[in-house]
Amino acid sequence: MTKAFFDHISTTPLDPRVFEAMRPYFLDRYGNPSSHIHDQGQAALRAVDQARAEVAALIGAKAGEIVFTSGATESNNLAVLGAAEGAGAAKRHVVVSEVEHFSVMNALIPLRNAGYEVTVLPVDRTGGVDPDAVRKALRADTALLSVMHANSEIGTIEPVLPIGRIAKEAGVTFHVDATASAGHIPVDVGEIPADLVTLSAHNFYGPKGAGALYLREGTKVAPRTFGGFQEMGYRAGTENVPAVVGMGAAALLAGREMGAWAEHLTRLGKTLWDGLATIPMLHYTGHPSERLPGHVSFWVEHVEGESLLLFLNMKGVMAASGSACSSNLRGHDEEDLVASPVLRAIGVPSDICTGSITFSLGKGNTADEVRSALDALPGIVERLRAMSPTYLDYQKRQVKGG
Amino acid sequence: MAAGPYSEKVMDHFMNPRNVGEIESADGVGEVGNPACGDMMRLYLKIDEGMVVDAKFRTFGCGAAIASSSMLTEMIKGKTVDEARAITNQHVADALDGLPAVKIHCSVMAEQAVKSALDDYAKKHPG
C-alpha cells in the first residue's frame, strides 16, 4: 500500500541534505558558541553565524537581524509579548487578526490580564484580512499589529504588503507570522514592511526545535527569557547548535529550490483540487487563488472530519483536520473540544465545522499519491454518509421536495 | 489493529460497525446529540414482550461516536427493557476497552440514546 503524507503544514520531513549538514554537530563539533576561546567553541560559533546568514538571506534580512529560538511558538510569544513591552508604558493596545495561530492568540492572555486592550480583526469568507479594517483599528497607543502571512488551516495568503504599509504610516510595530509561508513562497523583508517575522525550520524541510524571529534594526523588543547574552540578549540560553545549523541549511536549500518546489506543488494541488470537484456537496475553504501552493482544504456535508481521516489513514493517506475533535484527542477533558476558531471566523456553519479537511502537499509527493487520495475519498464519503442520520434526513427531504 | 489514540476494539467497531441502518416501524426511536457539537446518533429499537429483539443506528460523528453506537447496539440486543435502561456510558466505554478522556461524551451519547429510545417506546406503549 502506498503511504502518502499530505500533512506538511504540521511538519515536513527533514531533507537528507539538511541532515548531513547537521550530523557533525551532534558528535564531532559539540562546542558551545559562547565558549569561543577554544577550537570547539569557535567551530560552533562559526556554524551558528553561518546559519544566521543563511536564514537572513532567505528573507532578504541582515544576519544581525535574526534571533534563533526553539521554534515558531517561542518566536510568536517573543514577538507579541516582547514588542508589547518594548513599546513602552504609554502604548497598551494590540491588534491581531482572528485567524492567528494559538501561539499568538494565547500570548494575548497575559497582556489582557495586564490591562492591555486587544482588537481582533475579523476576516472575510476566504479568510482574508481587510487592510481598511487594519487602518481603522490602529491608534496612537497601538503597540503592535500581528497578521500572519499564510494560514495553515485554509491556506489563504494575507495581504501583508498593504497592511504593512498602513502599519508603517501609523508608526505601529508590525509582526508577521510566516511559519506556513517561509520557504514555500517568497518572504522578503525588503518588500514587506514587517518589523518582526516568525520563521520555523521544520515547516521547510529543516529540523524540529529550531525557529527564528527576524527583528528589523531598531525594533524595540523586550526579552522573554533571562540569562546570558546569547542571541544579542533577546534569547538567553545555549543555542541548539545542530538544529540551528539545520535551519540554516534548510533556508539555503529553500532559497535555491523553492521556485521549483512551488511549481510542482501547484501542479499536484490543482490535480487534487479539480479531482475533488466530483464529490457531491464538497466545499473548498480559503481563498481560491491567493493560497499556499499545494494546499487544498475543504469540508464535506454530512461527513465528520475525524472519521474521514481515520479511514484515509487506513488507506495509507495521511491528511489533517481543522476539527478540534481530532486535533485535541490528547486534551485533558472535553473542555478542550472546541470548534476550529478559523473555520468559525470564515463562516463555515458550526454543524459541519467538524468536517474540515486539510491536504498540504510537500516536495516529495507524487502524482500517483494524489491519485491514490482521489481514488480513496469518494468511497469513504459514501460509506460515512450511509451511516449518517443527517444524510438520511437530507435524502428524505430531497425525495419529498423532488 | 490499533490506530492512533483508539483501542483495537474501538477501531474494529469503527471500521466494521454492527447494526447500521434503520428499523421500519420501530417500537422506539431515540435521537441524541447535535451535529453542531460534532456528533449525533439515532437509535431504532424493535421490542417484543419486554425484550429488545433488534437495534439499529445511524451516527454522524468521530471514530469513538460510531464505535460507541455500534457497541451499544450489540450490548442491548437480547436484553430486557429494564436491563437495557440500566446500561451506562461506563459500560459502553469499558466494553470498548476504554476511550480517550476527550471522547467520553461519545459513550454518554450512547447511554442517552438508549434511554431516549426506551422513553419513546414507553410513550407509545403506555402501561
Lowest mean per-residue pLDDT among A283-287, A320-324, B26-30, B33-37 = A320-324
Contact A307 B62 (CB under 8 A): yes
Q: Mark which of A254, A271, A297 sits at the end of a domain.
A: A254
Q: pLDDT digits over A113-148, tens only?
A: 999 999 999 999 999 999 999 999 999 999 999 999
Q: Are residues A273 and A333 located together in one domain of the fold?
A: yes
Residues A132 and A280: their CA atoms lie apart, in Å, by 37
Cross-chain CB nearest to A389 (options B17, B36, B40): B40
B70-110 pLDDT, tens digit per residue, is 999 999 999 999 999 999 999 999 999 999 988 899 999 99
Q: Are A161 and A54 found together in one domain?
A: yes
pLDDT for residue A354 is more than 80 = no
Q: In what order do the strands lie in the sheet with A295-300?
A: A282-284, A295-300, A356-360, A320-321
Same domain membership, residue A394 and residue A326: yes
A191 and B CB contact within 8 Å: no
Give yes or no for a contact between A270 and A294, defined as CB atoms under 8 angstroms apart.
no
Does residue B58 have a pLDDT over 90?
A: yes
- Describe chain A by its helix, strand, coil percentages, rounded to 5: 45, 15, 40
B interface mutation test: which of A281, A329, A385, A391 has the most B CBs within 10 A?
A329
Using the structure block, give the residue that is written with the C-alpha cell 515558531.
Answer: A72
- Whether pLDDT at A334 is above 70: no
d(C-alpha B115, C-alpha B29), whole Å:
10
Give yes or no: residues A247 and A270 share one domain: no
Indicate the pTM of the whole model. 0.92
Domain count for chain A, please give it. 2
Range of the domain at A87: 16-254
pLDDT value at A326 more than 50? no
Of the residues A231, A254, A277, which one is the last residue of a structural domain? Answer: A254
What residue has cell string 531598531? A218
Q: In chain A, which residues have their Cβ closer than 8 Å to the Cβ of B63?
A: 306-307, 310
Residues A225, A91 share a domain: yes
* Cell numbers standing for residue B111: 447511554
B8-124 folds as Sufe protein. Chain: A (3.90.1010)
Q: Which residues, including other chains, have CB under 8 Å from residue B127's CB and lie 6 or more apart?
A: none
Quick count: other Cβ atoms within 10 Å of Cβ A260? 10
User: Strand A317-318 and strand A4-5: pairing?
Assistant: parallel
Asked if B62 is an active-site residue, the reply is no
- Cα–Cα distances (Å) from B96 to A135, A362, B13, in that order, read 55, 37, 9
pLDDT at B38 (0 to 100) = 76
B17 touches chain A (CB under 8 A): yes
- Residues 6 or more apart from A348 whose CB is under 8 A from it? A283, A285, A299, A356
CA dihedral A342, A344, A346, A350 (to 10 degrees): 130
Domain CATH number, residue A352:
3.90.1150.10
The three-point CA angle A153-A84-A133 to 5° equals 55
